Structure 1
Amino acid sequence: MSVDIRFRRRAGIAVAVGAVAVLVTGCAGTASGGTSDGSASGDESISGQIVWADFGGPTNESRQVAYFDGFYDETGVDVVSSSIEDAVYYPMLEGEDGDYDVFQVSTADILAYPDHIQEIPEAAQGDLIDESLRPYVVGGFYIGVAQGWLTDTFADGGPQDWVDFFDTDKYPGKRAWPGSPGFFDASYEIALLADGVAPEDLYPLDLERATAKLDTIRDDLVFYQSYPEVQQLLSSGSASIAVSVTGQFKALQNAGQDVTVQWNQAFQALNGFVVPEASNNPDAVMALAEWINTPENQAVFTERTGYGPVNSEVFDLISEDIAANVVNSPDHADGLLQWDEQWRADNKDLLLDSYTAWLAG
C-alpha cells in the first residue's frame, strides 16, 4: 500500500540529519555485530543516555532484552524507559522541547505531524515499511488489533467476526475495551463493521453511527487505561473477551495461558518510534535505530512479542510456528484489514475529540 505522506522537510533539518548519518557511520558496524571478539566497543562517537518513551509492560521488557541491554553493552549508552504521556509527546511533534529523545507513535501521527521528525540512516530503515515512511520510523513493528479470549471461555469456539463480538447473548461476558482517549485504536472501525458496513466502505468513518453502535454494549464494556491491564482482565475473569493489540495476548501465552486470537477482521497497522527535532541525543538514537534494525536483534523481539517485523530477513531466522503467529505472516493475509492511515491522520483531532466525548458519556 503506497502512502502519500507529503513531507515538507526543511533544508536545515536535512543538513543536520546528514551530519548525524556521518557521525553514526563509525558505530554502525559495532551496533550490528560488535568487535571481532564479541566485547563491547565503547564507541566514543556517542555517549550519555537515551530517554525512550513507550507504553511499558511486556513489550517494553522485550525491547530491553532484544535491544537495550545489548546496545548498552556495545556502546555504554543507557536507554532509559519512560511511560509515554500525551502532554509531552504531542508538543514535541509540533516542534516544542520535551523530555523524550525518541517516542512511540502511530502511522497517523507521522502523517499528521511530519515537520519536526528527524530522518534516520538508511541502515536503520525496515524494508517491509512503505518507502514513503521508512526514513522516519525507528524500531518499527507491525501490530494487530484483534479480539482474543482464554480458550476455555468458549468451549465450542468464540466469536468469528465483529458482529459476533457485539452479540452478548451468544457470547456472554464483559468486553475489555480501550478506555484512554489517546488510543482509540480500531474502536470506530470495529463498531461500523459490527453494524454491517463493508470493509471497503468504512472511510470516511461515520462517527455518529459508530458511537450509536458502541452505546448498544456500553454496559458490557470494561475500560482499560493501559494495554497491560488487558492481561489482568482476562486472566482474572473480569472480561471474557478483550479488544487489544495482539502483543497482550502473546504475553499471556508466554505466561502459560491458552489464548485464542481471532485473526479474521483483525487490523494490521505499522507502529514505531520517531526522533523528534528536539531530541537531546540524536546521534545515539540514530545508532540505536541501526542496532534495532539488525535482523538477529529484531528476531528476538518478534519471538518474544508476536509483533510483526519490519526487516524481511527476520523471517529467515524465526521458526514457522513463530511466524504463523505474527500479524504480518502470510498465513493471515486474507483475513486482515488495513486502516486508511491518511484519512485517520487528516482527522486525528476529530477522532480524538469524538472518542474523548464518548468515553465521558
Structure 2
Amino acid sequence: MRRSLCTSISIAMIAAIGATFVTAGNAADSGNVVVASYGGSFQDAQTKAFFEPYAGATGARVTGTTGTGYAKVKAMVTSGNITWDVISADAAAYESEVKDDLLQPIDYSIVKADGIPAELRTKYGVGYMKFAQNLAWNKDKFPNGLTPAQFFDPSVKARRVMLALPYYNLEFALLADGVKPADLYPLDVDRGLKVIDRIKDQIVGFKPPSDVQALIQQGEVDVAFGPGGRLNNAIKAGANWAYTYDGSVTVVEYWAVLKGAPNAAEAMKFINFAIQPEQQAELPKQIFYGPTNIDALKLLDPALAKDLPGNPENEKLGGVLNSKWWNDNLASVSTRWSTYIMQ
C-alpha cells in the first residue's frame, strides 16, 4: 500500500524521484502525459486502472513517475523546470499547492466531472479517490467487536496502537468522546489529548502505517487505529481481525495539473478519462481505496462496494479530514503532539 498522509502532510519533506514507468498504446502516439504519484502498490494499481487503459484507448504515451509532494511541486514550478503534467495529491498537499499558486485551473470543458460531488470539483483539482483510517480489533479477544468509546475506556484492557502523527488520532479521539463529525473543526486539541491520555499506558506505540500492519500480523497488539488498506492487507494475510467505519476519518486524493505543465491539454484529457465511473470502478479492484464518483459504486460487486472508504453509508459514520485546518495548525499541534507522546 502507498504512503499515508503521515508523510505527505509534512510539507517540508522532499520525496526523491523514483523509477519511471512507461505505458504506450498500440497505436501511434497521439500525445504524451507524465503522471507523478507515489510508487509501490498504489502506483501499480493506478497503472492498471488508469495509465494502461488510457494509453490503450487513445494511443497516448503515459509515463508514470514517483515523488509527488508539495515540496517537489513547488521546486519544479518555481524553477520553471517542469517535467510533470498530472499529479496525484492528497488533500493536505493539494491545499498547499493551491495556496502557493502551483497549479493551473482544471478545464471543465474537457473534464466532465458531473458524477463527482460538487465540493470535490474544485478550480484546481478533482477529487478522485478516498481512503480512511479505521478502528480494528482482534476477533479472538473481542468476538463481539469494539466501539470507539471502548477504545478509550481504560477498563477495557488491551494492547493498543495508534498512528505516529497527530492528525487522524485527534479526530478519532474526539469522535469517540461524542463530538459530532460536523463539529470536529476547529479541533479541540486539549480535549483530544485528554481522551487519549485515558488509555496512554496501554498504547504499545504511536507508529507509521507499515508498523501498524506488522504489529497486527505479529500478534503484538489487540486493537488498532490505522489505515483501512493496511488493516485489510493484514486480514488478507491471515490476521483474525475486523474493523469498523464507526469513528473513521476519511481523506480525499486529487488529480491536479502543474502550472506550466508541458502537456496540459493531454493532462486534461487524461483526468477526464480517469474520473469516469468505469475507470474509478477499476481502482478498488486493485487496491482498497474508494471512488468519488457515486456511479462507480454501482459498477462494483455489492460486497466490495459496501466495504469501501467513500461509500456514503460508511463515510457518515465518521469524519472527513479538514486539510485546510491542518495546513494552518500543523506546526503548532505537532510540537505539542511530539512532547505528549514522548512523556
Q: What is the TM-score when the length of structure 1 is the normalising length?
A: 0.71
Q: Alpha carbon RMSD of aligned pairs, Å?
A: 3.6
- Give the one of 64, 88, 104 matched to 1:79: 64
What is the match of residue 304 of structure 1? 286
Distance 1:292 1:217, change over 3 A: same
Q: Secondary structure at the match of 2:290?
A: coil
1:148 aligns with 2:130: no
Distance in 2 of aligned mates of 1:283 and 1:88? 22
1:1-361 to 2 correspondences below 5 Å: 40-46=26-32, 50=34, 52-54=36-38, 56-73=39-56, 74-82=59-67, 84=68, 87-89=71-73, 101-114=85-98, 115-122=101-108, 123=111, 125=113, 127-131=115-119, 133-138=121-126, 140-154=128-142, 156-161=143-148, 163-167=149-153, 169-175=155-161, 177-179=162-164, 181=165, 184-195=166-177, 197-219=179-201, 220-225=203-208, 227-255=209-237, 257-277=239-259, 279=261, 281-332=263-314, 334-358=316-340
Q: Which amino acid aligns with 2:129?
A: F
Q: Which amino acid aligns with 2:72?
A: V
Distance 1:238 1:88, change over 3 A: farther
Q: Which amino acid aligns with 1:143?
A: F
Shift of 1:259: 3.7
Does the 8 A contact of 2:85 with 2:262 survive in 1?
yes
Shift of 1:75: 2.2
What fraction of aligned residue pairs are identical, expressed as a percent? 23
Distance 1:346 1:357, change over 3 A: same
Q: Which amino acid aligns with 1:120?
A: I
- Structure 1, residues 337-361: CA drift from partner, whole Å, max 9, x if none? 3344554444344445544554565
Distance in 1 of aligned mates of 2:179 and 2:265? 47
Distance in 2 of aligned mates of 1:274 and 1:171? 45
Distance in 1 of aligned mates of 2:236 and 2:88? 24
Q: Pick which of 338-347 and 206-215 moved more.
A: 338-347
Does the 8 A contact of 1:193 with 1:199 survive in 2?
yes
Shift of 1:198: 4.8
The size of the alignment, in residue pairs, is 314
Distance in 1 of aligned mates of 2:335 and 2:73? 17
Distance in 1 of aligned mates of 2:261 and 2:221? 40
Distance in 2 of aligned mates of 1:119 and 1:178? 34
In structure 1, runs of 5+ residues without a counterpart are: 1-33
Distance in 2 of aligned mates of 1:141 and 1:197? 26
In structure 2, runs of 5+ residues without a counterpart are: 1-23
Shift of 1:284: 4.6
Does the 8 A contact of 2:35 with 2:85 survive in 1?
yes
Q: What is the TM-score when the length of structure 2 is the normalising length?
A: 0.74
Q: Secondary structure at the match of 2:44?
A: helix
Shift of 1:299: 0.9
Q: Secondary structure at the match of 1:347?
A: helix
